[in-house]
């Protein structure tokens, strides 16, 4: 059977007419949701805002997404730019590769303290021969300047006499030159006077010859008398020619180019050369300082003949260095500029410096350890160390002191 259909004739029953309250299902569900939302306080979500901000900041620092990078690029801001200890680096900065780890070790070498420029041994001058010390002008520890007299030899007296003799000879030759010039001047005056006298005699002889010729025409004198007057006139003409030649010899050249003057000048030059040689020889009797420095030791005293050690030692101890003997197997790690520490038994504190020069030649070791088992035939290369100002001052009185040097070198891993 078909279910009965609702017809218009049936009355409509309203909810209000029923004896119980009718609750619709949709309205009940919506009411429950509203009641549920009302149970969460509105300020509850405020507690999550710092968490969201913190999470976003961490993500921005760690991930640095493209929008953040673009924003930083257009604004010119840099991650960590507002603090001296940033925890983030700029996004465009590539991560740097970790540097190679290096270890510091020391190369130990023996050596000695020497003044800069080393110690200079002063020997007798060249040509001193068997000369002995006459006087020492300095003492150990004296500070001297370059060119200052250090000692006098006993040959100085004879050398000074030679200088005096040469000076006297120079004075003599100067006088001879002046005398020659005066003689030439006087000779020129005499020649000019002789020429004037010859010309006067010539004029007188010519006049006499003419007179005798006139008288001969009148038969007042004999032919022999005329011939005598002619001969005298001819002789007077020769006298004039001779006087003119003499004057020409003096006037043809300047005074300084006259032969007699030239000879006198050459003699004076030779005398001056002898004087200069005598003064140069005088240096054979005087010992002077070749450099500015300090006297370290004196080996010869007055009356003694200098031996193989020379007369004295001089050096510039105001700037001290150290010569270290580095084994040839270790020289590869040594470089100019490395720091060096020097120690020795007499030193209460270490000396410090830097490597300034590395030698080019392999030599035999000269500084040996006290250990009997030490290698005494090692091959080494000399390394020069310049001491700093304080260390140099403390080492000024310790020339040739044996020291142990420790050179700090880096070994890359």
Residue 118 backbone zone (phi > 0: left; psi -120 to 50: alpha; other: beta) = left
Q: Please determine, for residue 21, whether its predicted confidence score (pLDDT) is greater than 70.
A: no
Main-chain phi, psi angles of 109, to 5 degrees: -145, 145
Diameter over CA atoms, the chain: 228
3-state secondary structure 168-200: HHHHHHHHHHHHHHHHHHHHHHHHHHHHHHHHH
Question: What does DSSP say about strands 286-288 and 379-387: parallel, antiparallel, or unpaired?
Answer: unpaired
Helix axes 156-217, 259-282, angle to 10 degrees: 180
Provide the token pair at 146.
């370059």
Q: Do the beta carbons of residue 216 and residue 226 sit within 8 Å?
A: yes
What is the arithmetic mean of pLDDT over 326-347?
91
Note the pLDDT of residue 235. 85
Listed in sequence order, the DSSP H helices in 252-378 are: 259-282
pLDDT tens readout for residues 151-163: 999 888 888 899 9
Closest CA relative to residue 120, chosen from 399, 382, 335? 399
What does the alpha-carbon distance between residue 289 and residue 250 come to, in Å, rounded to a whole number? 55
> Per DSSP, which regions of 124-260 are E strands?
133-136, 143-144, 149-153
Q: What are residue 115's DSSP bridge partners?
A: 320
What does the alpha-carbon distance between residue 246 and residue 297 come to, in Å, rounded to a whole number? 73
What does the alpha-carbon distance between residue 211 and residue 47 come to, in Å, rounded to a whole number? 167
Provide the token pair at 406.
């420790």
Q: What is the mean pLDDT of the chain?
A: 80
Main-chain phi, psi angles of 30, to 5 degrees: -65, -40
Residue 127 backbone zone (phi > 0: left; psi -120 to 50: alpha; other: beta) = left
Distance (Å) of CA 195 to CA 27, 200, 209, 239:
172, 9, 21, 8
Provide the token pair at 316.
């510039």
Q: How confident is the model at residue 293 (pLDDT cuts 50, 70, 90)?
A: very high
Closest CA relative to residue 301, chosen from 134, 125, 124? 134
Cα separation of the two ends of the chain: 102
Q: Do the beta carbons of residue 371 and residue 308 sit within 8 Å?
A: no
Closest CA relative to residue 187, chosen from 247, 264, 275? 247
Q: Please determine, for residue 258, whether its predicted confidence score (pLDDT) is greater than 70.
A: yes
Least confidently predicted of 68-72, 267-271, 279-283, 363-367: 68-72
Q: How confident is the model at residue 283 (pLDDT cuts 50, 70, 90)?
A: confident
What is the arithmetic mean of pLDDT over 345-353?
92
What does the alpha-carbon distance between residue 309 and residue 299 come to, in Å, rounded to a whole number? 7
Q: Please determine, for residue 392, whether its predicted confidence score (pLDDT) is greater than 70.
A: yes
Q: What are residue 404's DSSP bridge partners?
A: 110, 343
Burial of 260 from C-beta contacts in 10 A (0-12 / 13-18 / 19+):
middle
What does the alpha-carbon distance between residue 115 and residue 392 come to, in Å, rounded to a whole number? 9
User: Is pLDDT larger for residue 181 or for residue 299?
Assistant: 299
Spans of all domains in the chain? 158-273, 317-408
Is it true that domain 317-408 has CATH number 2.40.30.170? Answer: yes
The most confident of the ranges 56-60, 238-242, 391-395 is 391-395
What is the arithmetic mean of pLDDT over 19-48?
55
Q: Do the beta carbons of residue 359 and residue 339 sit within 8 Å?
A: no
Provide the token pair at 153.
């030899």
Burial of 195 from C-beta contacts in 10 A (0-12 / 13-18 / 19+):
buried
């Amino acid at each position: 059977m078909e279910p009965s259909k609702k017809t218009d004739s049936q009355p409509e029953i309203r909810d209000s007419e029923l004896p119980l309250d009718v609750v619709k299902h949709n309205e009940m569900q919506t009411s429950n949701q509203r009641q549920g939302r009302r149970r969460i306080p509105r300020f509850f979500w405020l507690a999550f805002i710092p968490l969201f901000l913190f999470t976003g900041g961490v993500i921005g620092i760690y991930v640095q997404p493209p929008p953040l990078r673009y924003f930083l690029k257009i604004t010119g801001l840099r991650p960590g730019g507002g603090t001296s200890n940033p925890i983030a680096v700029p996004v465009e900065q590539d991560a740097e590769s970790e540097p190679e780890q290096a270890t510091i070790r020391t190369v130990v070498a023996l050596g000695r303290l020497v003044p800069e420029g080393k110690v200079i041994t002063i020997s007798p001058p060249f040509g001193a021969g068997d000369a002995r010390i006459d006087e020492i002008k300095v003492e150990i520890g004296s500070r001297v300047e370059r060119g200052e007299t250090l000692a006098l030899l006993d040959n100085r007296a004879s050398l000074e006499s030679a200088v005096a003799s040469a000076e006297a000879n120079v004075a003599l030759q100067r006088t001879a030159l002046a005398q020659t010039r005066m003689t030439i001047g006087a000779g020129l005056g005499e020649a000019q006077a002789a020429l004037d006298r010859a010309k006067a005699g010539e004029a007188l002889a010519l006049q006499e010859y003419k007179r005798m010729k006139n008288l001969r025409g009148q038969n007042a004198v004999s032919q022999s008398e005329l011939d005598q007057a002619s001969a005298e006139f001819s002789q007077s003409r020769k006298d004039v020619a001779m006087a003119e030649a003499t004057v020409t010899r003096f006037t043809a050249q300047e005074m300084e180019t006259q032969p007699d003057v030239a000879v006198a000048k050459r003699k004076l030059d030779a005398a001056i050369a002898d004087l200069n040689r005598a003064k140069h020889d005088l240096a054979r009797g005087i010992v002077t300082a070749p450099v500015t420095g300090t006297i370290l030791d004196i080996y010869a005293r007055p009356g003694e003949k200098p031996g193989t050690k020379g007369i004295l030692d001089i050096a510039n101890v105001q700037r001290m260095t150290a010569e270290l003997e580095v084994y040839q197997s270790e020289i590869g790690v040594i470089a100019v500029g490395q720091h060096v520490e020097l120690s020795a038994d007499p030193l209460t504190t270490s000396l410090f410096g830097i490597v300034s020069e590395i030698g080019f030649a392999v030599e035999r070791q000269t500084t040996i350890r006290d250990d009997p088992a030490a290698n005494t035939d090692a091959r080494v290369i000399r390394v020069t160390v310049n001491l700093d100002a304080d260390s140099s001052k403390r080492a000024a009185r310790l020339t040739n002191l044996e020291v142990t040097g420790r050179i700090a070198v880096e070994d890359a891993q």
